[in-house]
């Protein structure tokens, strides 16, 4: 993604995951925003945004962060929300293991409390250790934890596949985590 597209992605992530009020934008209960209203409110605040840039971002982005409705009138973020939205996710049978990338400094707390969603609605998990490592890198020295996803599912905890690279669950107790050797 070029710098302009990255800026657009960050701006849309901020508005659609955390703060629609920044554009006086109303999200419906599913987290969907009206695309025309989003564009005009963004433009009124000096943000250069248009439909083709949004479509370009969805087609070319490094991750599937946003979905346009079939009629292209509405848009929502696929994951990452701190605001309360109902994504209407269906539980998905997970593979044996999923991965969570975090910072070394978070390990003592994760060992005692497990993974918590912190400011977001869900804990975010990755399908591969490499993807988890790049998630963890955002927070400091990265550490990859292996999550016993199938055991978690078998214990009655739903997991949801949001996109190719993101799985969501409400929390992961520490007994379902494998920590790297120290």
Query: Which residues of this chain interact with ligand HQG, rule CB under 6 A?
Result: 13, 63, 65, 80, 102-103, 106, 109-110, 113, 115-116, 118-120, 124, 135, 138-139, 166
d(CA 25, CA 95): 38
CB of 110 to ligand HQG, least distance (A): 5
Nearer CB in complex with ligand HQG: 1/150: 1
To which residue do tokens 């479509």 refer? Answer: 55
Token representation of residue 45:
């605040």
Residue 138 Cβ vs ligand HQG, minimum distance, rounded to whole Å: 6
Nearer Cβ to ligand HQG, position 36 or 138?
Answer: 138
Smallest Cα–Cα separation from 171: which of 69, 100, 104, 89?
100
Rounded least distance, CB 44 to ligand HQG, Å = 25
Q: Which residues contact 110 (CB under 8 A, 6 or more apart)?
A: 102, 145, 174, 177
């Amino acid at each position: 993604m070029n710098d302009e597209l990255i800026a657009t992605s960050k701006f849309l992530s901020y508005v659609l995951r955390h703060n629609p009020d920044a554009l006086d934008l109303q999200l419906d209960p599913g987290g969907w925003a009206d695309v025309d209203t989003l564009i005009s409110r963004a433009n009124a605040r000096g943000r250069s945004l248009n439909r083709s840039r949004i479509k370009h971002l969805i087609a070319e982005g490094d991750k599937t962060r946003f979905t346009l409705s079939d009629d292209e009138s509405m848009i929502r973020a696929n994951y990452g929300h701190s605001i309360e939205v109902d994504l209407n996710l269906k539980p998905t049978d997970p593979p044996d293991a999923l991965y969570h990338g975090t910072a070394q400094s978070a390990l003592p707390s994760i060992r005692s409390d497990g993974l918590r969603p912190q400011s977001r609605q869900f804990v975010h998990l990755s399908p591969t250790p490499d993807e988890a490592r790049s998630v963890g890198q955002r927070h400091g020295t990265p550490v990859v934890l292996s999550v016993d996803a199938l055991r978690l599912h078998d214990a009655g905890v739903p997991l949801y596949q949001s996109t190719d690279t993101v799985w969501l669950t409400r929390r992961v107790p520490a007994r379902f985590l494998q920590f790297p050797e120290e």
